[in-house]
Amino acid sequence: MDQGRLKNRVAIITGAARGIGKATAIKMTNEGASVALLDILSREVGQVAEELNEVGGDALGLTIDVSCKHEVDKMMKLVLERFDTVDILVNNAGVVCPAPIEEVKEEDCDNAIKVNLKGSLFCAQAVVPIMKKNRSGRIVNVGSRASLGKLDRTVYSATKAGLIGITRTWALELAPYNINVNYVGPGPIATELFASANPENSENTKAILNAIPLKRMGKPEEVAHLISFLASEEASFITGQTMFICGGVTVGTAHY
């Protein structure tokens, strides 16, 4: 295994059982980091951790609902028992809840806010005291291009746009401690989450593909490269920024 730019770093990655989270766990392991993988999908997150350990990584898989603060606090204790510290937090866990405005349900609002916003806050609150003590840290909030507006995404786009404001605020608060905070806005990326909200061969999915200037879906691994870079020392002068990785959709006129 190649010991790269994240050697001797410890990373917590939420939503790590699939898609972008899993790709980020693999990338950071290959870069030399020890990784704590968090997900509500118990079997799958355990399997990812096992696969990483089998190839020489140092991975801990934990089943957790990030929207429950007491679970996050318990997770932090387990991470510190295993790794002693935390250098990187990747807030990747998220839910979509697609629906046109008239059909948005109150429970969908509550769920999206709990996972996409409160979950990110709880995880940050768990790691920031350690990062402050170390006077060093990296937080990467994984949002979405949908934060700029997307059909049938009232709740999702609102929470992901809110995460941009959170990112900028945390960047200001934590800069004196050499803790960098940035936002990555993927989309459209070929993940299980995308497929669940955009059925293959549907008219909406076809419209999304046609709206991408590069004329292809992005890969989870491509997002993982950007996240890993922002977590490294190479990005030490970047904080409070929003970086979209979307094949050029943000410079087009379509709102898919």
The CATH class of 10-244 is: alpha beta
Q: In the prediction, which pLDDT does 44 show?
A: 98
Task: Please name the amino acid found at residue 154.
Answer: T
Interatomic CA distance for residues 33 and 27, integer angstroms: 9
Radius of gyration of the chain (CA): 17
Q: In the prediction, which pLDDT does 1 show?
A: 47
256 is catalytic: no
**N residues, the chain:** 256
What is the enclosing helix (H) or strand (E) of 139? strand 137-142
Confidence of residue 195 (pLDDT cuts 50, 70, 90): confident
In the predicted model, what is the mean pLDDT of residues 66-84?
98
In the predicted model, what is the mean pLDDT of residues 146-150?
92
Confidence of residue 208 (pLDDT cuts 50, 70, 90): confident
Active-site position among 156, 177, 183, 256: 156
Q: In the prediction, which pLDDT does 253 show?
A: 56
What is the b/e burial string over 62-79, where b = at least 16 CB atoms within 10 angstroms of the residue's CB? Answer: bbbbbbeeebbeebbeeb
Q: In the prediction, which pLDDT does 200 show?
A: 77
Any idea where the domains of the chain sit in the sequence? 10-244
Asked if residue 255 has pLDDT above 60, the reply is: no
